[in-house]
Amino acid sequence: MKKALLILVLALVAAGARAQDQADSLYVPAAIDSTLRGQDILNLIRTSDGKSEIDQPAAVRDAFRKYVSRNAGKPIPGYRIRVYYDNDQKARARSEAVARAIAGRYPGLRVYRTFESPNFKVSVGDFRSKDEALRLFNELKVQYPAAFLIKENINYPLVDPDVIFQ
């Protein structure tokens, strides 16, 4: 009885191995279209007037708008650049001047002026990654040598879905 069971198991294993070999021999790799190798997808969909057009359902735009509006009030972890930090008698006036100067030079950049006794602080930006913050940091470091990066909760980045989905 044991011998018969052992022979049956071995026969099933051998049949399974043969079936696998046959399945492997049926596999044919897909041919690669070499005419697309190295091409930029945006160049391929560009129209004659130089613009790229992508059609998408209105449901995608609506879902994105809902996502942005739902998350707009939530703070998220990120980085800011602290360009001013002082507590002397003229710190209030200086912090206001620094905030105005940066807001004038970088109109789309958020500027935060705060007071934590006894210090006045000016921070700029809402950067989700350190790399993103370092790009502006290197530029600001020239005018504000005491500037440094800080990791803190930031406001949800400003996103206009209509600009993205034009």
Q: What is the pLDDT of residues 61-76, one digit of tens each?
A: 888 888 878 877 788 8
Residue 100 has pLDDT above 60, yes or no: yes
Summarize pLDDT for 31-46 with one digit per residue, the tens: 666 666 666 666 666 6
Nearest to 147 by CA among 91, 89, 98: 98
Number of Cβ within a 10 Å radius of residue 84: 22
Q: Are 65 and 121 in contact (CB under 8 A)?
A: no
How large is the average pLDDT for residues 24-30? Answer: 56
How large is the average pLDDT for residues 71-99? Answer: 91
3-state secondary structure of 147: coil
Residue 151 has pLDDT above 70, yes or no: yes
- Token readout for 45 is 């969909």
Confidence of residue 57 (pLDDT cuts 50, 70, 90): confident
Residue 166 has pLDDT above 70, yes or no: no
Question: What pLDDT sits at residue 73?
Answer: 77
Question: What pLDDT sits at residue 156?
Answer: 73
Confidence of residue 13 (pLDDT cuts 50, 70, 90): low
CA distances for 96 relative to 15, 93, 117, 140, angstroms: 82, 5, 16, 17
How large is the average pLDDT for residues 14-18? Answer: 60
Question: What pLDDT sits at residue 72?
Answer: 76
Percentage with pLDDT > 90 across the chain: 38
Q: Which domains, and CATH codes, for the chain?
A: 78-154 (3.30.70.1070)
